[in-house]
Amino acid sequence: MVDTAEGSNAVIPGSTRFERPATQGSDIQLTLDSDLQFTVQNAISEYVARSGARPTSSAVVLDARTAEVLAMANAQTFDPRDLAGASAERLGNPAVQSPFEPGSVNKIVTMAAALEYGLATPTDVLSVPGSIRVADRTISDAWDHGTERYTLTGVLAKSSTSGRS
C-alpha cells in the first residue's frame, strides 16, 4: 500500500502521477440525493442479509441524462466515528474499487449490434450450449444445462452468457 498524501512524491506502481493546480472560482458539487442514498443503503443491506448475497455487494444509482451519481451504497459499512474498530476491507469502497466482469452489460451491446446490422432478429432461434470455450476460458451460464434452444429475445430474458447462434 502506498500513502499518497498531498505533497508526496510517491507514485502508485503501474500508474503515473497527474497533478493539476486548483483553478480559482471552480467548485465541486455533490450530486448525491440524501433520501435516495438512505433508501438504497437500507435496501442493499436488507437484501444481502435476507438473500445471503456477497457482503461486498454494491448499488450505484445514476441519472441517465447526466451520469451524475445520485446514490452509492455498499453492503459492508463502518462507523466513521470508530475508524480503529473497522477492518481494512470495510474502509474501502467496493462500488468503485472492486473489479467485476460486466458480462450481462455486454450481451445488450452484442445483441444491439446484431439487430442493427440485420444479422439476427428477436425471434431467431439459437442453439445455446451450457458453456463455450473462449481462448483459455470456459464461459458458462449461471445454471447447469445442456444445449437448449432460445430465441434471441429468450437469450436476453434468461441472461444466458453462452447464448450464441
Active-site residue set: 104
Mapped onto helix, strand or coil, the DSSP state of residue 61 is strand
- Which residues make beta-bridge pairs with 151? 125
* Beta-bridge partners for 140: 131
Q: Using an 8 Å Cβ cutoff, are 55 and 90 in contact?
A: no
Cα–Cα distance, 44 to 52 (Å, whole number): 11
Which residues are paired to 133 by β-bridges?
138
Residue 1 vs residues 13, 14, 76: alpha-carbon distances, Å: 10, 13, 21
Separation of alpha carbons 79 and 58, rounded Å: 17
138 close to 146: Cβ distance less than 8 angstroms: no
